[in-house]
Amino acid sequence: MATFEYTALDTAGARVSGALGGASEGAVLAELETRNLTPIRVRERRERRSVRRGVSARALASSYIQLGDLLNAGVPVMRSLTLLSRQKSSPKLSAVYRAVAEAVSDGGDLGEAMARRPEVFPRTHIAMVSAGEKGGFLEQVFVRLGAFVQGQAELRSKLMGGMIYPAVLVVFGVAILAVIFGIFIPKFEPLFARLDELPMVTTIVLGFSKLISGYAWLAAIVLALLAGGFVAMRRNPAGARRLAVIRNRLPFIGALSRDIAAARFCRMLGTMETNGVPLIQAMKIARDAAGHVLLEEAIEKAIESVRAGAALAPPLGASGMFAEDTIEMISVGEAAGNVDQVLLNIAGAIERRVDHTFTIGVRLIEPLLLAVIAMVIATVAISLILPMMQLSGAA
């Protein structure tokens, strides 16, 4: 189920805005008519990639697992939602479930009630819950959904945690070198003025020091402009695609970003397929959440292929975003009729490969950064020692 933002006029002619969940734009228009609203604009809302407002992914996953356990134990949906709304571990999430419970008590479906809070419940989750409601396996959906969200949160946490130490090294390294070149080295320049000729390494280091100390403001402006241009380029569709192409061609980062996007797509599509979401709808949602422009284009071609009655694997393979063995597994899964389970197995294999590759990369980056900092400091030391030896010899 997609989420649509609408602007409409009520019976008094007042403009009202809001969001509704629906299988299509036509379904949302029909719902607005039943509410005596005249639609002015209806637009599908794309998956939000921003941080949820005060609700962590782990807390959301835990609430899904609790819902699944309660439903498996025979507790009614309303009673389960009420119990979650009383929990004090996450007040904001409790308030959300309170609002969902009120909407369900008024006669609405659980999926529609969740669709009213898109800042907390992504389209992926809403589609799975709606499918579970219609199919009568809601408890299984919440258990699987909880495991899915928890797995994604753990992978994201591991990737972010692995980058903390290299980031700290970069910040401290830049700060130390800025102090050395901007403050420490200029103090030696008057002392070396007595020499007729300086060693080449000393001349280079002094020149670099003058550049940093004299034009730091210009460097800051240039960096700010570059950062602003990068942000503007990312917000522009054509610019975002160019950046994706460049990133895709980078030796280590390109393969890692492709694998992360492919794993996310396979995990989402496989989970939704397992929970009864129609393939085309599941592919659209997985496309919006893939997080990689080139993969989104490949998925769009695959959607058209599947809609025309063709197979899923060929257009995905033509994109170059998936390894050959992955495409072969998808083809076999389509032929065997268990593509949902195959996609989940592929996601697990890719995630393990990403974990391994990322761990090796981080282990290589740390000593490399230390080596670069040590080489720069050693070069500075040599550039200062050599002219001081000349001065002592002349004395």
Summarised one tens digit per residue, pLDDT across range 95-141 is 889 888 888 888 778 888 888 888 888 877 887 788 788 777 888 88
Give residue 109's region: left, alpha or beta (phi > 0; psi -120 to 50). beta
Note whether residue 294 is domain-resident.
yes
Note whether residue 51 is domain-resident.
no
Say yes or no: 254 and 320 in one domain.
yes
Over residues 364-368, the mean pLDDT reads: 85
Containing structural domain, residue 113? 57-136
Cβ neighbours, 10 Å, residue 387: 21
Residues in the chain: 395
- Distance CA(252)–CA(255), nearest Å, equals 6
Determine phi and psi for 17, rounding to 5 degrees.
Answer: -130, 155
Question: Residue 103 has what pLDDT?
Answer: 86
Residue with tokens 């008024």: 106
Say yes or no: 323 and 244 in one domain.
yes
- Distance CA(241)–CA(216), nearest Å, equals 33
Note whether residue 156 is domain-resident.
no
Two tokens, residue 77: 């949906």
Say yes or no: 106 and 194 in one domain.
no
Quickly state the pLDDT bin for 393 (edges 50, 70, 90): low
Q: Which of 14-23, 294-303, 347-356 has the lowest mean pLDDT?
A: 14-23
- Dihedral sign, CA of 222, 224, 230, 233? negative
Whether pLDDT at 48 is above 50: no
Q: Which of 13-27, 158-172, 292-306 has the lowest mean pLDDT?
A: 13-27
- Dihedral sign, CA of 70, 141, 148, 106? negative
pLDDT, tens digit, for every residue of 328-356? 998 988 888 888 889 889 988 888 888 88
CATH code of the domain covering residue 94: 1.20.81.30
Whether pLDDT at 30 is above 80: no
Calculate the average pLDDT of the chain: 82
CB 84 within 8 A of CB 110: no
| Domain count of the fold of the chain | 3
Question: Residue 46 has what pLDDT?
Answer: 55
Question: Residue 47 has what pLDDT?
Answer: 44
Say yes or no: 217 and 321 in one domain.
yes
- For the chain, what percent of residues have pLDDT higher than 90? 1
Over residues 304-316, the mean pLDDT reads: 85
Over residues 161-180, the mean pLDDT reads: 83
Note whether residue 395 is domain-resident.
yes
Question: Residue 394 has what pLDDT?
Answer: 57
Say yes or no: 61 and 20 in one domain.
no
Out of 86, 119, 136, pick the residue that ends a domain. 136
Over residues 2-23, the mean pLDDT reads: 73
CB 145 within 8 A of CB 130: no
Note whether residue 388 is domain-resident.
yes
Say yes or no: 17 and 65 in one domain.
no
Q: CB under 8 Å, gap of 24 or more: what pairs does 218-221 form?
A: none
Say yes or no: 195 and 321 in one domain.
yes
Whether pLDDT at 281 is above 50: yes
pTM across the whole model? 0.62
Note whether residue 150 is domain-resident.
no
Out of 136, 154, 186, pick the residue that ends a domain. 136
Question: Residue 3 has what pLDDT?
Answer: 67
Question: Residue 24 has what pLDDT?
Answer: 66
Say yes or no: 303 and 217 in one domain.
yes
Question: Residue 154 has what pLDDT?
Answer: 82
Say yes or no: 314 and 336 in one domain.
yes
Question: Residue 395 has what pLDDT?
Answer: 53
Strand order in the sheet with 2-9: 15-22, 2-9, 38-44
Say yes or no: 81 and 215 in one domain.
no
CB 170 within 8 A of CB 369: yes
Note whether residue 201 is domain-resident.
yes
Q: Which of 61-65, 118-122, 190-194, 260-264 has the lowest mean pLDDT?
A: 190-194
Note whether residue 245 is domain-resident.
yes
Say yes or no: 274 and 299 in one domain.
yes
Say yes or no: 255 and 314 in one domain.
yes
Which of these, 140, 132, 123, 122, lies nearest to 67 by C-alpha position? 140
Whether pLDDT at 51 is above 70: no
- Distance CA(120)–CA(102), nearest Å, equals 16
